[in-house]
Amino acid sequence: MPAGYAAARRRAGATELRAAKPVQAVTAEDRTIKERAIKDRIAVPQSASQLANRMAGRSLGRVGAIALVAAGVAVLAGPTAFVERAAAADEVRIIPSGSVTFRSDANVPGVAIALIAGNPKEGPYTVRAKFDRNVKIPAHSHPDERVVTVISGTYYFGDGDKYDEGAIKGYGPGTLIVVPANRPHYAGSAEDGAIVQESGVGPTGITLTGK
């Protein structure tokens, strides 16, 4: 055989070897996964690991899409969106001391009431009570717990179901008094009057014992 012809055959054989695709072994796992893929009508990748990854992504698309979208919206919106919604629902109100409007309470002579926030008929509320000079409020109770803060003047308070001159005591600004629900108590003021702030959770009211 001529030397040139043999060299040409060797070059051609090398080219065929380079062009040939490697044969990938098919395992039992590959056949099982491919059968599942055909059943589910999805594309079959060349390896079992690729198919497993694709199937995991498909499951995530069904189960986790809503969670991912929600998380994405929260990240994109950022805290500003939540703050804006909260501000729209609960706007900040600044009330100068001279702008508080008191209205007389027919149930308690000598005391005027100002609603600061909330609704005493339902839910949390805050009111202020302004006592004229030398007011005496007989024993009474409220259906809700009251947290009383003395704002100005001297607020007189006593615990019991009957007004007792010897037991009632005066308290100055900054004093806090927590009165349990339905607890009889009595109150009043002296020459300097008093303003107190009371907070509770409605529905509220007042029941006088007449003592």
Which residue type is seen at 198?
E
Architecture per CATH, 97-208: Sandwich (2.60)
Q: State how far the Cα of 77 lies from the Cα of 91, in Å rounded to an integer.
A: 21
**Distance separating alpha carbons of residues 199 and 126, to the nearest angstrom:** 4
Intervals of the chain under pLDDT 70: 1-89, 211
pLDDT, position 43: 43
pLDDT tens figures, 136-149: 999 999 999 999 99
Structure tokens at 52: 């497993």
3 state SS for 167-200: CCEEECCCCEEEECCCCCEEEEEEEEEEEEEEEE
Q: Which of 81, 108, 198, 182 has its CA nearest to residue 148?
A: 198
- Residue written as token pair 């803060």: 149
Whole-structure pTM value:
0.57
Taking residue 198's Cβ as centre, other Cβ atoms within 10 Å add up to 20
Q: What does the pLDDT look like over 62-105, one tens digit per residue? A: 333 323 222 332 322 333 332 333 333 478 989 998 899 999 97
Domain boundaries, the chain: 3-65, 97-208
